[in-house]
Structure 1
């Protein structure tokens, strides 16, 4: 069958075979795990979720301003809770507890970073067995904390800019960190100047959900939810792009393997976002099941990290391979994948591939062919 294909399609087949290696990692994260009981056990809230502020007036008020310190874990976590609460009328998708909200991916990722000690100063990591969750201060020296800032404060300011907090009687002040304050913007005006595209994308996302109907209640990914995810992922990727050059110097505080994992993860997000991967409460919890449980040390080398599970080792190995192949091809792998995912049909095929590898691996070649056909159709994308 393949011999009858044009040469450029044969090349695409070869590249997409590499993409399937990446997708095999995603099957570990897929939201359609066959064992629903196991999946339900993965549904966890971020650490200290119940202690995080729920509304703006829960933060300290000095004079005529609410003061938010995003360098304290509970207060940055509170920004996410505010966003989930304020967007519930638009994004709950009729799911109990607002758990279908596509913004759940942000606080759950942040909670994983805190739980694994990745928000602390890498030069002062806790000893093995010490509970890093007791340390609620977030270090400006942490690469993960720096990157996450652009996925916490900028979305929050974008929501304010889009009018979601209209009518609040106080001004809002964002506290800068003690170290490297110039790496972070702290107001709508400042962030518009230094992180223009990220601010624009988050504002567009929040404006979109305000003007869209919220009667989405189907169990599968609807056209409306696909649209919401598309805007959210565009904003997410732009936040990462603006953060990378400002946070990169912090990678030197990590071991080689941890620094490499951080860069691998930043690249993987673009692949994941291109197919509008669902980021609701359940999907994100499943997604994080096999992420590394601690910071990697200098002696850690996947797939042979002794205290990691087989799946955790595999995740690290495959994410690294994806990043290396993408770098080797000059970004062609990512461009090709985005091209395949640029239509609704392509994204459905990509998500189906994840599901098929979980429920019926025999269907993988068939679904891969669907993606290749979609590539051929979308030459104008």
Structure 2
């Protein structure tokens, strides 16, 4: 363990240098707190269309995919009453908020010149060639179908079927039985999360937040680990900097997951403000992107450093991090470090200089 620490001394110097800056304050209005078009998204399974005695959901329509999150949040609200009023403490908020960020930053519309996606002809359409949209499929549809398989929504009169895209249909599954046949382990991870909530029965106050986060993050990471190699071919539609950011983001989720980071409404909003507000393009040089805030540049650099370090050690750094996060005390310390990293102010020249040119 000491060898690993010595090996990564420059990384810890960078983290410390970044963390020792004055904290930035993020303010949110009530309207800002929800994903775009949240009020228009279906909030009940009955709100979706019917065909051939099946409930049909178009997962390539932003509002309909967003509605799947809304339904999961509505049905799980009673389990999180101890963590804040009006469902703000529900840890599922991280998923729809991330999807909303993808929508309003144009990440569901790539490749360029498509008629599908935010800011183009059909702004509600999610491109089947969007790397972000395809990755998100396994963080939206699979959780929803896992909840269905767990009986989380009760007994439904009709089965649910997901509408396939017009092309590349073989990259996805479309029903509980279909997905369980293709990706049983991933379905089981999401099913386990909803079964944990159901196990509270009539006493939702018995939910332990750290346990719930453990189930949720295990399923979240399993989705990324499955989808990442599957959609590597979609990265060709992105710029070099955006491709690097996407891969850095996926790796960073592994580190964040190990801390059981609480993905409730306010926490997710606070830290998501530091994600890039647009697609990265050729010529964007981290951490010197002029139209990004110092915090956004710093987050991009931090994610890159984590990924590069983990690659350099063949995954040993992530293994070490997970070992350090194996106790509640360790996870709390990890969350504090993330908080300092993300919410502190500008980077010192020393912090930038350590990894200048690396990303």
Superposed CA offset, 1:235-264 (max 9, x none): 000011111122110000111100110000
Aligned-partner SS, 2:157: coil
Q: How far does the alpha carbon of each residue in 1:92-136 deviate from its partner, in whole angstroms, 9 at most, with x for none?
A: 43522101000000000000000000001323269xxx9469711
Paired residue for 1:165?
Answer: 153
Deviations, residues 63-111 of structure 1 (Å, cap 9, x unaligned): 3111100000000000000000111122343522101000000000000
* Cα deviation digits, residues 164-205 of structure 1 (max 9, x gap): 122221221110111211111111122122222211110011
What is the TM-score normalised by the length of structure 1? 0.82
2:99 equivalent to 1:115 = no
Equivalent-residue separation in structure 2 for 1:309 and 1:109 (angstroms): 19
Aligned equivalents of 1:275 and 1:16: distance in 2?
Answer: 21
**Equivalent of residue 237 in structure 1, options 207, 221, 229:** 221
Cα–Cα, structure 1 residues 55 and 301, in superposed 2: closer, same or farther, change >3 Å? same
Q: Is the 8 Å Cα contact of residues 71 and 177 (structure 1) preserved in structure 2?
A: yes
Map residues 129-140 of structure 1 onto 2, 5 A cutoff. 131=119, 135-140=123-128
**Residues 343 and 190 from structure 1, CA distance in 2 versus in 1: closer, same or farther, beyond 3 angstroms?**
same
The residue aligned with 1:98 is 87
Q: Secondary structure at the match of 2:204?
A: coil
What is the DSSP-based 3-state SS (H/G/I as helix, E as strand, rest coil) of the residue aligned with 2:82?
coil
In structure 2, the partner of 1:185 is 173
Q: Deviation digits for residues 213-236 of structure 1, max 9, x if unmatched?
A: 4227xxxxxx81011001100000
Secondary structure in structure 2 of the residue aligned to 1:148: helix
Maintained 8 Å contact 1:121/1:140 = no
The equivalent of 1:69 in structure 2 is 58
Show structure 1 runs of 4+ deviating over 6 A.
23-28, 356-361
Name the structure 1 match of 2:250: 266
1:10 CA displacement: 5.9
1:124 maps to which residue? 113
Among 34, 39, 45, which residue is 1:45 paired with?
Answer: 34
Query: Residue in 2 aligned with 1:311?
Result: 295
- RMSD of aligned alpha carbons: 2.7
Distance 1:50 1:23, change over 3 A: farther
Cα distance change on mapping 1:266 and 1:94 into 2, 3 Å:
closer
Of 283, 293, 296 in structure 1, the residue corresponding to residue 277 of structure 2 is 293
CA, structure 1 residues 247+354, in 2 after alignment: closer, same or farther (shift >3 Å)? closer
- Gaps of at least 5 residues in structure 1 are 1-7, 217-222, 362-381
Structure 2 counterpart of 1:337: 321
Alignment length (residue pairs): 340
The equivalent of 1:214 in structure 2 is 204
* Distance verdict in 2 for CA 1:314–1:358, change over 3 Å: closer
Q: Kindly indicate whether the alpha-carbon contact (under 8 Å) linking 1:267 and 1:323 is maintained by their aligned counterparts in 2.
A: yes
Residue number among 2, 7, 11 corresponding to 1:9 in the alignment: 2
State yes or no: 1:79 paired with 2:68.
Answer: yes
